[in-house]
Amino acid sequence: MPQQPLADAVRSLMDRARTDLAELVAFPSVADPRQFPVEECEKAARWVADAFAAEGLTNVQLLDTPDGTQSVYAELPGPAGAPTVLLYSHYDVQPPLDESGWLSPAFELTERDGRWYGRGAADCKGNILMHLTALRALRQVHGDAYPVGLKIIVEGSEEQGTGGLERYAQAHPELLAADAIVIGDTGNFAAGLPTVTASLRGMTVVEVAITTLAGNLHSGAFGGAAPDALQALVKVLASLHDEHGDVAVAGLTSDQTWSGVQYADEQFRADAKVLDGVALTGTGTVADRLWARPAVTVLGIDAPPVIGATSSVQASAKALVSLRVPPGTDTAAAQNALVAHLEAQVPFGAQLRIERHGNGAPFSADTSGPAYEAMGEAMEEAFGTPMVASGEGGSIPLCNTLRTLYPEAEIVLIGVEEPTTQIHAVNESVDPLELERMALTEALFLRRFAELRKA
């Protein structure tokens, strides 16, 4: 059957996709009640539920997950003998960070220089629209009959890492069972280069608090002899990397190599917007550092801000430290190594308190099955160039939960989050052409996967 009608259908739906994405971005659905009202997440969840119900999905539910958030579930049986495909995404987003750094309001979708800007425009509300646009195109071309059975799950706490959907799925193991699972939460290696993500690093986080004094002291009267907690914390954090920028934690190796697609230094510098004259950190290729090796990042520090600071020796200071671990590394053991390193580096005999946060294991995909064959064919048709496989430095803990629950299911990771989208940063955006081609890819995939399984 000619594919042009499907491509035309997707193209005709892009204005609607922009309108819908604007509505969805307008919800500041940050799953942290300390920063944003929980009602905004509830509104986003209801919007997603209504949108999939409008595309013929049935048994639409708002699932109350154990972490207090809601996940949207929907399903639709397919034709007799057709496989079932689960489509995943999440509607919660990162906080906007420094709102003064946004060139347009974070929660107002704004078109600029051919891109659509707004928090969640790519991660991950853009991927929700990828799913919706693919399904709408199939209905437009084929009527109400989808070629596969469908299940939809869109969670509300992926960015917080609180594991609500993982625990819900473990308690209801039949709910998300499928022959193939499409995780819409990654992106192409470069815009226009169709890519499946073949591996994910795991992640663990620890909170480090250092206390040295009963209270702050005047820096003129006591500075130079009184142990400064902020100075101690800075010293501890500085010890996490060696002079080259590689992780310097005993028990964590930083010499692994990545054998797949490579990331040119110049391209990475451009994608990451590294300033002129500033060197990249670490050794090995960029792909080695991003996808095959551990990475430690200081996510935040509790210390007096510059504006309003007083002349004081600090009695306490706190930091949040993230550790990304590559496939082949046990996350719990890696966290133990990080904690042991921090404990060994504390100076002055300062009091140290470490709070461990959840662990997410790394993930590697088997790319040899029919779902990957169907995705490769769909991507090549949609983009006009062969599919490649890359790694991903981020973490999606749900992937390992799904693999444990459904070991026979193929898990395929795709999405609209190519490197220039600036997810988790200010001025996040999505390229509408990427969204269009990825929606077409998914529509083609659903049809092709049904054909391969039938054959």
In the structure, what pLDDT confidence band is assigned to residue 395 with cuts at 50, 70 and 90? confident
Regarding pTM above 0.85, the answer is: yes
Q: Which CATH superfamily is domain 4-200+362-454 in?
A: Zn peptidases (3.40.630.10)
Q: pLDDT band at residue 269, thresholds of 50, 70 and 90?
A: very high
pLDDT at 145 over 90: no
Closest by CA to 341, choosing from 197, 237, 218, is 237
The answer to whether residue 358 scores a pLDDT higher than 80 is: no
Count how many residues are written for the chain.
455
Collect all residues with Cβ–Cβ distance below 8 Å to 21 and sequence separation of at least 6: 109, 116, 118, 121, 125, 126, 129, 430
pLDDT digits (tens, 9 = 90+) for 293-337: 999 999 999 999 999 999 999 999 999 999 999 999 999 999 999
Percent of the chain with pLDDT over 90: 92
Q: What is the mean pLDDT of residues 28-53?
A: 95
Given phi > 0 = left and psi -120 to 50 = alpha, else beta, which region is 424?
A: left
> If pLDDT is split at 50, 70 and 90, which confidence band does 3 have?
low
Average pLDDT over residues 341-351: 98
Quote the CA–CA distance of 441 and 196 in Å, as a whole number: 12
- Residue 1: predicted pLDDT: 41
Please tell me the distance from the alpha carbon of residue 193 to that of residue 264, in angstroms, as a whole number. Answer: 15
Q: What is the 3-state secondary structure (H, E, C) of the chain?
A: CCCHHHHHHHHHCHHHHHHHHHHHHCCCCCCCCCCCCHHHHHHHHHHHHHHHHCCCCEEEEEEECCCCCEEEEEEECCCCCCCEEEEEEECCCCCCCCHHHCCCCCCCCEEECCEEECCCCCCCHHHHHHHHHHHHHHHHHHCCCCCCEEEEEEECCCCCCCCHHHHHHHHCCCCCCCCEEEEECCCCCECCECEEEEEECEEEEEEEEEECCCCCEEHHHHCCCCCCHHHHHHHHHHCCECCCCCECCCCCCCCCCCCCCCCCHHHHHHHHCCCCCCCCCCCCCHHHHHHHCCEEEEEEEECCCCCCCCCEECCEEEEEEEEEECCCCCHHHHHHHHHHHHHHHCCCCCEEEEEEEEEECCEECCCCCHHHHHHHHHHHHHHCCCCEEEEECCCCCHHHHHHHHCCCCEEEEECCCCHHHCCCCCCCEECHHHHHHHHHHHHHHHHHHHHHHHC
Residue 87: what pLDDT? 98
Q: What is the pLDDT of residues 421-453, one digit of tens each?
A: 999 999 999 999 999 999 999 999 999 999 998
The pLDDT score that the predictor gives to residue 393 is 86
| Active-site residue identified among 40, 55, 67, 158 | 158
**Maximum CA extent, the chain:** 83
Is 271 marked active-site?
no
Instruction: Give per-residue pLDDT as tens, 52-109.
Output: 999 999 999 999 999 999 999 999 999 999 999 999 999 999 999 998 999 999 999 9
Task: Find out whether 8 and 140 touch, Cβ atoms under 8 Å.
Answer: no
Comparing 454 with 351, the larger pLDDT belongs to 351
> Mean pLDDT of all residues in the chain?
95
Q: What is the pLDDT of residues 171-219, one digit of tens each?
A: 999 999 999 999 999 999 999 999 999 999 999 999 999 999 999 999 9
For residue 273, CA distances in Å to 124, 212, 265, 312 come to 22, 38, 12, 36
Q: What pLDDT shows up at residue 339?
A: 98
Mean pLDDT (whole number) for 342-362 = 94
4-200+362-454 and 202-256+293-359 share one fold: no
Q: How confident is the model at residue 2 (pLDDT cuts 50, 70, 90)?
A: very low
Cα-based torsion angle of the residue sequence 73, 414, 434, 438 in order, rounded to the nearest 10 degrees: -70
User: Residue 392's closest CA among 333, 299, 326?
Assistant: 326
* Active-site option among 92, 431, 436, 442: 92
Cα–Cα distance between 200 and 358 in angstroms, integer?
Answer: 16
Q: Supply the pLDDT for residue 449.
A: 98
For residues 93 and 5, is the Cβ–Cβ distance under 8 A?
no
Mean of pLDDT values over 240-269: 94
- Helix axis angle for 4-12 and 14-25, nearest 10°, is 40
Residues 189/191/196/202 CA torsion (nearest 10 deg): 50
Averaged over 404-420, what is the pLDDT? 97
Domain boundaries, the chain: 4-200+362-454, 202-256+293-359
| Distance (Å, whole) CA 331 – CA 323 | 9
Q: What average pLDDT does the segment 363-374 reach?
A: 94
In this prediction, residue 34 carries a pLDDT of 87
Q: Do 124 and 425 meet the contact criterion of CB atoms below 8 Å apart?
A: no
Known catalytic residue at 158: yes
CATH architecture of residue range(s) 202-256+293-359? 2-Layer Sandwich (3.30)
Contacts of 30 (CB under 8 A, 6+ apart): 36, 40, 41, 92, 93, 94, 95, 159
Hey, what amino acid is at 46?
A: R
